[in-house]
Amino acid sequence: MFSMKYNYGSDINSGSYTGSQSASRAESKATSLESQVKRLRADLARSLMISEALWELLRDRAKLTEQDLHKKLYEIDMRDGVLDGQNKRKAQKCPDCKHMVSSRHSVCIYCGKVMDDSVFAI
Ligand SMILES: [Zn+2]
C-alpha cells in the first residue's frame, strides 16, 4: 500500500508554498544555475586559451616539446597516486603537532603550521 511520508496538501492554506509557487521557484533556481554554468564555461575556455598561449611561448622560447609537456602532466597527475586528470590533495599529518589536517585547509587548524602553500591548491 502506498503511504506518503509528508502530507503536502494539508498546509496549502497555512502560509506554505503552493504547487505553482514551488514550480516557479524551481524554475528561477534552474535559470540561475544555467547562467552560472554558462559563466563557468566561458571562464574555463578563457583559462584554457591562456594556458595554451603560455605553453606556446614557453615551448618556443625554451625549445620544449609536446612530449615534455605530456611527461610533466603525467608526473603532476600521479602525485596523488591516481591517473585521473587531477591532482587531488589528501589529508596530511601535520609535521609539527601530528594531527591529521584536511586538504581543505592550507594551514594546520591545531597549531598554525603552513601545510600547503601551492598557488595551485583548490
Ligand atoms: Zn599542526
Q: How far is the CA of 92 from the centre of ligand 1 (A)?
A: 10
**CA–CA separation, 107 vs 64, rounded Å?**
35
Ligand 1 centroid, distance to 119 Cα (angstroms): 20
Compute, in angstroms, the gap from residue 117 CA to the centroid of ligand 1.
15
According to the model, what pLDDT value does residue 90 have?
A: 83
Q: Find the domain containing 51 and state its range.
A: 18-85
Could you tell me if residue 2 is inside a domain?
no
Residues 63 and 56 sit within 8 Å (Cβ to Cβ) = no
Write the burial class of residue 115 (CB in 10 Å: 0-12 exposed, 13-18 middle, 19+ buried): buried
**Do both 63 and 27 map to the same domain?**
yes
What residues have CB less than 8 Å from 102, skipping those under 6 apart? 91
| Residue 54 and residue 107 in one domain | no
Residues having C-beta closer than 5 Å to ion ligand 1: 94, 96-97, 108, 110-111, 113
Say if residue 79 is in the same domain as residue 96.
no
- Quick check: is 105 in a domain? yes
Distance 84 CA to ligand 1 centre (A): 30
Confidence at residue 16, expressed as pLDDT on a 0 to 100 scale = 66
- How many structural domains does the chain have? 2
What would the grid cell of residue 90 be? Answer: 589528501
Mean pLDDT by 10 residues, the chain (122 residues): 45 64 93 97 96 96 96 93 88 94 91 84 68
Same domain for 66 and 101?
A: no
